[in-house]
Amino acid sequence: MSKIQQAIKERILVLDGAMGTMLQRNNFSEEDFRGERFKDFPHPLKGNNDLLSITQPEAVKQVHRLYFQAGADIVETNTFSGTTIGMADYHMEDLVYELNYQSAKIAREVADEFTDRPRFVAGSIGPTNRTASMSPDVNDPGFRAVTFDDLRIAYKQQVEALIDGGCDVLLVETIFDTLNAKAALFAIEEVKEERNLDIPVMVSGTITDASGRTLSGQTVEAFLISIAHIPLLSIGFNCALGADQLKPYLKRLAHNTTLNISAHPNAGLPNAFGQYDQTPTEMQALIKDYLQDNLVNIIGGCCGTTPEHIKAIAEVAKEFKPRQILETI
């Protein structure tokens, strides 16, 4: 049994908050994103947050450090867009292995600074900006911008680098299309078999609106059934909704699974300017409801959340025991 599998039996684990929200505070310029190494790169690079693990590593380290200081047990690597598919927007497909390796290495180094209790690094595996289940062309419903094999190959490269860099767990997150997630999970299983290792895997989908479905149309129960064949450390939801809007879907998930459940909601819904106004105290009260209702084993924050939010969540998480899992549903 891995250390994280042991820890999750003992206490509610706290996941970090938003990486992008924190990096944006630096107001990095195009030159900052480029650094010395990419100063003559022929394409714009501003906005490529994953690249900052190479060009501004101390800034990324500081984000991890602040989340651990706030009480997080797990931080996510700065690799949400770290596939050849995601990096194609910046013409940086060739850098994918290095980006993921360096991001994992940075997070591992910061985790090892904290010796009071085990701290963990989750390799963040985002959904890519393409969907395998639906056509992007309304006039050609059969067209697909990406194939399952395209995704599998891209994810496999990312997974190998994240493991090489020192991740304790892999987090397939913000899943809007379960077919994309299945490609990631298939790639993970391939790597595990080839390397004869057993790294824990977390899966986190996203409910896109009040319909209670993922973007590709699945209900909570359908999403769960679609990936139930894979051995998982946890299943849960993140992004798109705030903690109050997400709660009913977590309840449905808890009612239907014996897996550990994770949640990292946004700090409420964005305002007219795309900003998140929910305070740490407001979010803490909503998360307390999750804990009182025995809904989660891993809790953290997504868009708009900061170390202040995670500190408030960690404080209330200490008061509760992890979700008790019934052996039969």
Known binding residues for Zn(2+) are 239, 302-303
* Known binding-site residue numbers: 239, 302-303
Residue 179 host element (H or E):
helix 178-195
| Residue 311 CA from chain centroid, whole number | 19
C-alpha distance across the termini of the chain, in Å: 24
- What separation in angstroms does the CA of 285 have from each of 71, 132, 244, 281? 17, 38, 10, 6
Record the tokens describing residue 54, joined without a space. 């190479």
Counting Cα atoms < 13 Å in the Cβ hemisphere of 30 gives 8
* Assigned token pair, 26: 């630096």
CA proximity to 133, closest of 151, 154, 153, 155: 151
How far, in Å, CA of 302 to CA of 297, rounded?
A: 16
| Alpha-carbon torsion, ordered 194, 169, 149, 81, to 10 deg | -140
Rounded CA separation 289/239 (Å): 18
The rounded distance, in Å, linking the Cα atoms of 270 and 242 is: 9
Comparing CA positions, the residue from 69, 75, 60 lying closest to residue 4 is 75
The DSSP bridge partners found for residue 170 are 123, 201
